[in-house]
Structure 1
């Protein structure tokens, strides 16, 4: 068998074998992995690191259940099922989403096919029309001009308790899309975070990084609370 370990040669002419870097066990790698890394790292690298394999199933097998992907297993021993005819451009986001859900505990999860946009009534300049609207949108679509029509979802809220009163709202986040607007980056669905004084618009990848930062911040707050309680 051919030796593929890199070598160096001593001044005397002898060969010194180089130590091969040991790969982290999947469970250890998972602990240090962030949502941002799952969104940006090469998919093949993620699969190898987390111990996940891709299984291609016949066309229509998952679609018959309304799914685009299926996951079963845990970190170090899991598989993702994808229909073999699913285009590569559609496959990667599905795989990344399923990888983001993996944990050391055995589980299964089916990723549902995205809902087709629905036609909903809108009123623009007093005139009734119909527009395509994503399933998550809760806007009533009553605007003066079409360029002002937007899609927005239900907010998720973060409130902070206080020593001398009821909890106070701290942050709000929601899906948003200015589909008919002139600002191209904001036409696609994105995440808006606001503190009731300023808005922060984020791409999905940026929102994942922000979520990782919130998790790290929460860990620091927990450590402070434990320190104060001693």
Structure 2
């Protein structure tokens, strides 16, 4: 045996104790934690959790109707409430046309960690601008209120027509008296 063959044999013998590396097909997939999936009707959004001094981003399930920017300001995780944009009806007064006499607002809301299960469920929140009172309505209550408001709107139209007719009659009489030279 030559010196070269001995060196090669020794090298091959040394490699026989090293385990062979698996091929790519044989390799087990790395332990990857998939991004959690949101339930139907929800999406995952970032929320800033903590205080202004110490906070971090946590991903939370958020209803698809929620427009609240949960990452805008830090809050405790249990204080996160979901809100939709509000709709409003303004009730003016001709005695002060610059300010609404009443503003009635409505929006969807859900507080996922409320002690009250009804508040955890998505519901409609109604409130008046100048009042601390709020009304929380189930979908069924909201539909009943909408039916009542449709009836109320019809009554408002009736009142408007009655006021307009009365004013027309009153103003016509005043105009006739003036035309006849009488005192209005």
Q: Would you say same fold, with TM above 0.5?
A: yes
Q: Which residue of 2 aligns with 1:227?
A: 162
Structure 2 CA distance, aligned partners of 1:210 and 1:143?
36
Q: Which residue of 1 aligns with 2:56?
A: 127
Structure 2 CA distance, aligned partners of 1:176 and 1:152?
5
SS at match of 1:229: helix
After TM superposition, what 4+ stretches of structure 1 lie above 3 angstroms from structure 2? Answer: none
Q: Which residue of 2 aligns with 1:160?
A: 91
SS at match of 1:163: coil
Is the Cα–Cα contact under 8 Å of residues 148 and 181 in structure 1 kept in the other structure? no
Tell me how far 1:183 sits from its aligned partner.
2.0
Is structure 2 residue 43 aligned with structure 1 residue 118? yes
**Aligned positions, number:** 117
- Match of residue 192, structure 1, among 125, 128, 152: 125
Q: Which residue of 1 aligns with 2:104?
A: 171
Higher helix share: 2
Q: Which residue of 2 aligns with 1:149?
A: 80
Higher RCO by CA contacts (8 Å cutoff, separation 6 or greater): 1
Aligned pairs for 1:206-221 (under 5 A) are 206-221=141-156
Q: Which residue of 2 aligns with 1:201?
A: 136
Q: Larger Cα Rg: Structure 1 or Structure 2?
A: 2
Unaligned 5+ runs, structure 1: 1-114
The Cα offsets for residues 137-165 of structure 1, whole Å up to 9 and x where unpaired, read as 11122453222101000111101132131
Please provide the CA RMSD for this pair: 1.8
Tell me how far 1:190 sits from its aligned partner.
0.3
Structure 1 CA distance, aligned partners of 2:81 and 2:92?
33
Unaligned 5+ runs, structure 2: 1-39, 166-184
Structure 2 CA distance, aligned partners of 1:226 and 1:173?
28
Is the Cα–Cα contact under 8 Å of residues 143 and 149 in structure 1 kept in the other structure? no
Structure 2 CA distance, aligned partners of 1:228 and 1:116?
48
Higher strand share: 1
Aligned pairs for 1:1-230 (under 5 A) are 116-125=41-50, 126-141=55-70, 142-164=73-95, 165-166=97-98, 168=100, 169-196=102-129, 197=131, 198-230=133-165
Is the Cα–Cα contact under 8 Å of residues 147 and 182 in structure 1 kept in the other structure? no
